Structure 1
Amino acid sequence: MTTRDAGPREGPGPAPRQRHAGADHTRRHAAYPLALYVPAAVVYTVIFLIPTVTAFYFALTRWTLFDSEFVGLDNFRDFLAEQNLRVGFRNTLVYAVVTSGLKVVLGMGLGVLLTSKLRLRGFLRSVVFFPVLVSTVAVGITFSALLRPDTGLVDKALAVVGVSGPDWLGDAGTALLSVALVDVWKGVGLATVIYIAGILSIPQDYHQAVAVDGGSAWHRFRHVTLPLSRPATYSVIILSFIGGLRSFDLIWTMTRGGPGFTSDVIASIIYKQYQAGFFGLSTAGNVLLFVVVTVVVVPLNYYLGKRQVAL
């Protein structure tokens, strides 16, 4: 017998069977989450990626349902030359800032109120959230009737106390603000639910510590609730701002962008191009709106996320 046959090999590594078993175990655990990602990836590709790439292509064409003609950047130049685009862009930013700001303030206030020791708070939570469930078009039609001059319920209520209400939707100075307030009424319920979840997740030890130090309810709100509900504020701002920049259905239902073009937003300008049959031009507008939302929201998301981590 040679020295090579004297006994089993010794080495620092595991036996071959153990190495294969470990590799099989790793592959099994790696394949399981991958199988869960595949359906979501397919849905995301079909619903988002393919339409987005297709929209970028058709924005460079003059197209109908049956044919298309490549025109390069002409659609973008024509859309940017729209006479009311500057007004629409300004209105879009104003609408997004007003609606998101009011949803943050009112949502936090209602969230604090509805997490306090209040009777019927469960019922009140349902009442606050109910407008979120109502169709946006139905809300627009209802408030269009309520805000009619002289015959609307709002002006009649103001007349009882001796106040003459304006033409809420027919006056260039009040049309966009009126729609924004209706948007806040409809969407503040979702902001409130987010704040309720954020406030209830704050450990009670912090509130008790402030109470032991003799702090009032304002001190608890200022030093505990407000800073520790920052993640909820972050979510409300991002969701509301994106919704405001993409706003269309409520504005179109209530004012059609009027009077004139005074309440037009970017989305309503795009829709008017669709109505006129300029499909390539309106597709270019959609691409520009996508770029605007991305340029505004991505830095905002980074800034708010950075401040959230810093806490």
Structure 2
Amino acid sequence: MKKKSRYSFWFLVPALAIFLIFFLIPIIQSFYYSLTVWTFDSTRFCGLNNYITFFKDKSLNSSIPHTLIYAFLTSGLKVVIAFFIAVFLCGKVRAKGFIRSAVFFPNLVSAMAIGLAFGYLMHPTKGLFNHLITSLGLPAINFLGDEKLALFSIIAVDVWKGLSISLVIYIAGIQSINSNYYEAAQIDGANFWQKIRYITLPLVAPAQNSIIILSLIGGLRSFDLIWAMTGGGPGFSTDVMASVIYKQYAFGFYGLSTAGNVIMLILISLITFPLQHFLNKREEAIQ
């Protein structure tokens, strides 16, 4: 029996080795280097100075609320909008396949390309959006130049781009629901919204949970779309943690950049692990 258990253990060795080399060791090294001022030639221990600088400097610490706003708004909007589109596309709709393909198309284009394209579309004087707005007699909107509006403009583009993955997961979840539930509800006189509330929403919970976690983590780590559209500007109004980390690394502040990475790792862990636990408990309660 002991020999058999040892035999089974060897199957875990490749996975454990990969986890150790590519995950655990880099995390430990990151924690160490975040406590230093380092270059590629030398390392000097500085304690918590990098963390103190990160939280005291407004240009750095403002990225934390921006990251949270960005992540929760993009995730929430994707979860809600994709659900209703999925319900619509799972119904009796003509050209269903074409509509699904059209909705999925943005995911086939790189975030950088979409960011650059929407950067031109949202230009305050030459952009197509403002040409349409001014043609209606309304004043032009500085989508990406207004500090109060720029982050929300990027959020709208991110939601448009990211709906496709959420939509595919929702459609798979809805189509896996046994049609007998809907037939029984129809016999009992349930209307469309009652079917959505009491059948679709509870039974699509596993798919919805996956969407929430994936979109939230993606929002917390977002960088490429923001960088392509504004580069973190105007000022620091659209800087998120990933863009701040990139900037500090580009400026040669490697220790400060590493500290930012550690803070982002802790932030993502503090949000996603309790949320995953809560969603799993909710799913078990529904079942």
Normalised by the length of structure 1, the TM-score is: 0.87
Q: Deviations over 1:63-111 (max 9, x none)?
A: 1112211222222112222122342111111111110011001110111
Aligned to 2:33: 58
Which of 211, 235, 245 lines up with 1:236 in the alignment? 211
Q: Determine if the alignment matches structure 1 residue 225 to structure 2 residue 200.
A: yes
Q: Indicate which of 174, 196, 201 corresponds to 2:176.
A: 201
Match of 2:222 in 1: 247
Distance in 2, Cα, partners of 1:298 & 1:144 = 35
Q: How many residues align?
A: 286
SS in 2 for 1:62: strand
Matches of 1:67 and 1:86 in 2, distance apart?
Answer: 27
Matched, 1:292 2:270: no
2:283 maps to 308
The residue aligned with 1:13 is: none
Find 2:153's aligned residue among 171, 174, 178. Answer: 178
The equivalent of 1:274 in structure 2 is 249
**Once superposed, what is the RMSD of the aligned Cα atoms?**
1.8
Structure 1 residue matching 2:236: 3-state secondary structure: coil
Larger radius of gyration, structure 1 or 2? 1
**Which shows bigger deviation, 284-293 or 118-127?**
118-127
Give the SS at the match of 2:37. strand
Q: Summarize the alignment of residues 1-311 of structure 1 with structure 2, pairs less than 5 Å apart.
A: 23=1, 27=4, 31=7, 35=11, 37-311=12-286
- Normalising by structure 2, we get a TM-score of 0.94
Structure-2 separation of matches of 1:123 and 1:222: 28
Whole-Å separation in 2 of the counterparts to 1:144 and 1:33? 53
Ranges in structure 2 where 5+ consecutive residues have no aligned partner: none
| CA distance, structure 1, for counterparts of residue 43 and residue 145 of structure 2 | 40
- SS class of match (2:65): helix
Cα deviation, residue 160, structure 1: 2.9
Percent of pairs identical after alignment? 47
Q: Deviations over 1:232-256 (max 9, x none)?
A: 2111111111111112111111111
